[in-house]
Each structure stands twice: as structure tokens, then as C-alpha cells.
A and B are shown apart, each in its own frame.
Chain A
């Protein structure tokens, strides 16, 4: 009897696993679920689970239920490769990841090599947030698709907006010391130089990624520099703590950011009383006047209590479903071919397209401002009573930047 039970205990999960593999379409979600990046990683995970539920409610993709497999990489490239291998071994053919361009760089290399060595068992990598331009230029790969605008595209939009703001005179750059932070600061310097040569860059700081617990020394430096505006690509804990330290010390400057909407960001902005002084460049925000995206936003908030930080994740999941149906297959190579060059009406309205040359998705880009809601915008953030208000919209075709990608296709 005991032996039988032992055998059953071993065999059942395996049988279950095999049965699951046939019925479900697994998407491996590799992102930080612990450590300094955990707050953003958790929100991404729940967003994808919400999207999977949405797809499943409509009968899944080609009749298969979508299942999100969470894999914790601790924002560590090495750990990510172990998780990717683990995912592939358990039958995952689609991997999504976003937080940390250093991770994305390692993953795209890994998956490209894996696909070369394992023809017929290809894996696709859907990148929803790692925005280092290198990923769709020098390092571009047939297996990699990016739904977020890369950091150059965002900086282009941001500097176009700043160009028309004469009150900006002295700018301080503070970024995380890794590939993405590096690309933000170089792009900011280069673009400001041509668009607003009169602006003085009074500081250009790099700090260790997700390691700083107190930003007070950095804030002291920003203050001493006499800057009136700060540009930062900081995300996760690094953004919330930076703003918290600024709020504590009473620093009043304008913030031009990529990720001010991340967990803790809105709360810190409210605490620092920085009404209308924080700007974010992104492919969307809660208060965009669009019926279906607002309904989605409300449903997500009702279920999880946080706002949609990744409109691009919605585009990713829905386009994936469309591409699979167009290809009439879940074979990654066929899905990839269907995604290439695909036109798509984006989640919160407007035209987008997946450029075939480098697998970069282009979509309208918005610049929004955080503060008191004056025109009855329905959504606030983190129960602060403040929310995002649009100040500029750039259409997809005006965000197109050239690529140096030379892709080899199977």
C-alpha cells in the first residue's frame, strides 16, 4: 500500500504536467519577484494574469487556455538564464520579460542561440518593457519582439516637448548605472544639444542599480547644482526612493521621467507636494479618453487595486492572439512571421505597427503630467487624489527612428 502511494505521489504530478502541457499555452514570465525590483515585477505578473484571464474568457488562443508561469529572476541576468532554461524544459515556447535591459540583453542572446541549436523547437521572446535601443539595433534578433518604445524614441518625444518649454535652463541627469541608464543619459545629452543648445547640463549622475537605500546625498547634490529640472530613467524602488528623498528635503524641481507611475512613485510625488511638476513619457496613462481602455482600467483596478502600468502588455497579449489566429498555428516561427509588419489599433486608441526590420512596435506616445485632477478625469493613482493628465501626444509615424538592425530570418 505504502509503495503504491509513493508511486502515485511521484507519478501524479508528472501525469498532470503532461496533460497540462497539451491543454494550455504556457507563457513564461521572467521578472523580479523578489529584491529591489519586486514591486514592479509583481504588478507586471498580475497584469499578465489578468490579460490571460481575458483571453481565456474568450476561449483562449486557438482553443488553448493561456497560463502565465511566474519565474523569479531577482533582476539578475544570470538567474534569468537559469529560469529561461527551466521554463523551456517544462514546455514553455513563449517567454515574456521586461524589467532590466541587462536581463533582456542576456535573454535575447540566450534565446537566439537556443533557437539556432534547436531548430523546430524555437522559443519566442516578447519584451514588454526593456527599452535599451541596442536590443532592436546591434543585438536585434528574429526571436525578440519589443512592445515598449525604446528609450531613444521616448527621449525624442520628451526632448521635443522640452524644446517648447523655455523655463528649462539647467538640467540634472540621474540614472541607474547599467545599459538602460547609460542610453537615457547619452540620448538626453545628444538630443538636448541639438534641440536646445542653450540648456546647461549641470549634473550627470550614475548610481548603482537597485542598491541605494537612501538618496539623500544625491538630492543634496542636485540641490547644490542649482538645477531647475531633472531627467531620470529610474524605475522601481530607485524612483520611489529618489522622489521620497526629494520630498523629505523639500527639493522643488521639475521631473522628466520614464517611470514615475511605478509603485510608490505617485505617493512620493504627492508627499513632496510636486503638483504638476512630474512628467512621464509613456505609451499611455489611465485618463486617456477612450471607452474600451477606460473600461479595462476600471476592471483591473476593481480586481487588484492597482492601475494599469503596462498598456503595452495589453497590446502584446492581444497581438499575440491575433498573430496566432492569423498563422493558424502556435508554432513560434509562424507566429513570429505573422507578427512581422502587423498593423494594430492600439489599446488606448490610435494606429500602431510592428516594424518588420527590427521587431520594434511603434505606437502613439504620450507625455503626461501628475497632479490635481481639474477636468474631472476619472482615475487617480495610489489613492492620492492626484492623477495623470495629458500634455502632449505624438503619433506613431512621428516616433519612427532608423534602425541598424540586420536580422537573419529562419
Chain B
């Protein structure tokens, strides 16, 4: 039992940190620009495919550096030539634009790399078990994922809260005209922020690509859950996203490890329901509904605390 708890905690933290890596870019973009970027998971996918292609040519480490930069440049371009034009027509237009962009990116990825999974491997320098707990090995690569996520969280916090750049960026959102009058190019600031946000997603993509599956539907698989993370954490709150990611990672992992169902909890009563239409609900185990747990959490949060765990404003 202890073994399962420890290992599930580790697995949950690992998955949570990966979620955070993806959600951080989304939440940064939202808190700075006020744009909910539906195509965010697509940049994560672009990161994975760029990473795959570059690691084919130059190895994994250059890929980890170059792929996010490429994705960031594309992201900046999207802001400069797409979002900025659409912005005039309001938030709904922006949402629809990013929504469409997600499909366009998926289509392009399918044209270039095909629809089946590509063979993106863990670099051999990290392909060994890091340590063993209760006879379960922990791959070094997963530890590396954890470290990168933590490092990025800290770096982002410092940049946004402690540096001049962070101050200007925050001011540009609330008082764009004032920042403009002070001589800063507000348009460029927005473009940079969007580029950095998408580059963060791409970092997650390069890192997650070898550990999970790199294929053209990976954005669709992880996209919805990102929104759960940013909403539960509080729209625009970086520490909130961090906590929410861990929470969701742990909830999902622990739910998988639980076999309990209503019929077990109310054991003696269950035969009475065995043959009724209730029996399906009665016998569903917690493990079976693990994949929908994050969405249950989302509904609960929206009902009880609409601004999210650490959100500051009601949206």
C-alpha cells in the first residue's frame, strides 16, 4: 500500500509538472494579453515535431534549444500578422482565430509528418534508470522533465515579478497608452510575450515527445486538459497554474490506482441493485472514471470559486 502511494505520488507529480510546462505559456499569454489561445496545444505539438526533426539531424540537445525558438518565432508571427489584425474585432474574434489556427496547424503537421506516430526517442545520455524505489525504476529522463519544469517555473516567476522587463510587460496590459507614451513599443511587447508563451509550449513538446507519443493528434489529446489547468488555477495566475497542474496530476494518478466503486462502499446493499439500470453506475470503479476527474474538478471549481484557486478577478 505504501509502495503504491509513494509511486502514485511520484507519477502524479511528474505528470503534473508536464502539464504545468504546457499551461505556463498559456497562462502567461492570457495574463499579459488577455487572449485565451486555443491553439496553444498546437504549439506544443509543433515543438514535439520540430524537436523530432532537428534531433534526427543534430541530436536531442540542439533540438531542445532550437525547436522552441522556431516555434516561438512562428508564435510571434501569428501575433504580429494574425491576432493583432483580429484584435480590433474583439475577444470572440480572437478566440475563433486561435480555434481555427489549431486545426490549420494540425493539418500542416499531418501533411509534413504524416498521421502515424513518429519515432522520437529518449536521448541515449538520459536513457537509464535514475533510481529505484520499492523495485520500481524511475527513468532518468522523467527526472530531467521534472527539473526542467521546476526551473522554468522559477525563472518565469523571477522574470515577471522581479525584473524591469516583467514590470513593463505587466504595465503594458493594464495601461498600454501610458507605457506607449513612456517610449516602449507596446505592439512589440505583446509580440514578444506571445512568442515566449508559444516557445514554452514547444519546450514542453520537445521534452514530452519522446516520453509520450509524438503524433498529429497529440494536441487534441492534451488541449482540453490545459484549459482545466488554467481555469482551476485561476486565469492568469502562474502560481495558480502550478498548483492546479500538480493537483490534476495527482488526482488523475490516484484515481487510476483506486479500485473502489459504490457497490464496494455500500457492499451489503449492492445485490438489491444488481439487476437494475443502476448497476452500471453502481459498479463503475474510480479507476475507470479517472480520465474525467479533471473535468469534474473543473465543474466544481467553476461552481464554487469561479475565479479559480489563486485567480484575482472574476471572469
Contact = CB atoms under 8 A, between A and B. Distances in A.
A41 B110 CA distance: 15
A231 to B, nearest CB: 17
Contacts of A208: 291
For the complex of A and B, the 9 pairs showing the least CB-CB separation, nearest first, are A34-B115, A250-B137, A217-B256, A38-B116, A224-B4, A213-B212, A220-B7, A217-B253, A249-B136
A217 B213 contact: no
Interface in B197-223: 211-213, 215-218, 221-222
Interface residues on B, range: 35 or more
B134 to A, nearest CB: 8
A217 B212 contact: no
Contacts of A251: 136
Contacts of B11: 214, 216-217, 220
Interface string B101-125: 0000000001000011100000000
A250 B252 CA distance: 22
Q: Which of B1, B216, B217, B252 has the most CB of A within 10 A?
A: B217
B180 interface: no
B135 A35 contact: no
Given A34-B216, A203-B259, A237-B117, 10 more contacts: A35-B217, A38-B215, A39-B116, A217-B8, A217-B256, A218-B256, A220-B8, A220-B11, A248-B142, A250-B136
A213 B44 CA distance: 15
A220 B116 contact: no
A221 B216 contact: no
Interface string B33-58: 00000000000000000000000000
Nearest to B258: A221
A121 interface: no
A192 B287 CA distance: 24
B115 A33 contact: yes
Contacts of A42: 115-116
Contacts of A177: 288
A39 B216 contact: no
A186 B3 CA distance: 29
Contacts of A218: 256
Interface string B134-150: 01111100100000000
A241 interface: yes
Contacts of A264: 117
Contacts of B253: 217
A88 to B, nearest CB: 24
A220 B4 contact: yes
Contacts of B138: 249
B215 A220 contact: no
Interface of B: 1, 3-4, 7-8, 11-12, 14-15, 110, 115-117, 129, 132, 135-139, 142, 211-213, 215-218, 221-222, 252-253, 256-257, 259, 287-288, 291
Contacts of A328: none
Contact of B132 (A34, A39, A206, A250): A250
Nearest to A237: B213
Contact of A250 (B4, B117, B135, B221): B135
A213 B213 CA distance: 7
Contacts of A237: 117, 213
A241 B213 contact: yes
Contacts of B8: 217, 220
Given A39-B116, A220-B4, A34 B256 contact: no
Nearest to B110: A34
A109 interface: no
B204 to A, nearest CB: 13
Interface string A277-295: 0000000000000000000
A217 B257 contact: yes
B291 A211 contact: yes
A214 B15 contact: yes
A219 B142 CA distance: 15
A276 interface: no
A237 B215 CA distance: 11
Given A211-B221, A249-B136, A221 B4 contact: yes
A72 B221 CA distance: 18
Contacts of B139: 248
B135 A223 contact: yes
A372 interface: no
Nearest to A218: B256
Contacts of A206: 287-288
10 contacts: A38-B115, A207-B256, A211-B221, A213-B212, A217-B252, A221-B4, A237-B117, A249-B137, A249-B138, A264-B117
Contact of A38 (B15, B117, B221, B291): B117
Interface string A199-234: 000010111100111101111110110000000000
A36 interface: yes
Contact of B257 (A207, A212, A213, A220): A220
Contacts of A205: 287
Contact of B217 (A36, A212, A217, A249): A36
A177 B218 CA distance: 20
Contacts of A241: 213
A33 B139 CA distance: 32
A214 B211 contact: yes
B118 to A, nearest CB: 10
B102 to A, nearest CB: 15
Contacts of B4: 220-221, 224
B213 A250 contact: no
A309 to B, nearest CB: 14
A391 to B, nearest CB: 28
Contacts of B110: 34
A205 B261 CA distance: 13
A34 B1 CA distance: 39
A345 B41 CA distance: 51
Nearest to A250: B137
A249 B196 CA distance: 34
Contact of B129 (A41, A72, A213, A250): A250
B217 A223 contact: no
Nearest to A35: B217
Q: Which of A38, A211, A219, A248 has the most CB of B within 10 A?
A: A248
B212 A214 contact: yes
Interface in A377-398: none
B136 A220 contact: yes
Contacts of A248: 129, 137, 139, 142
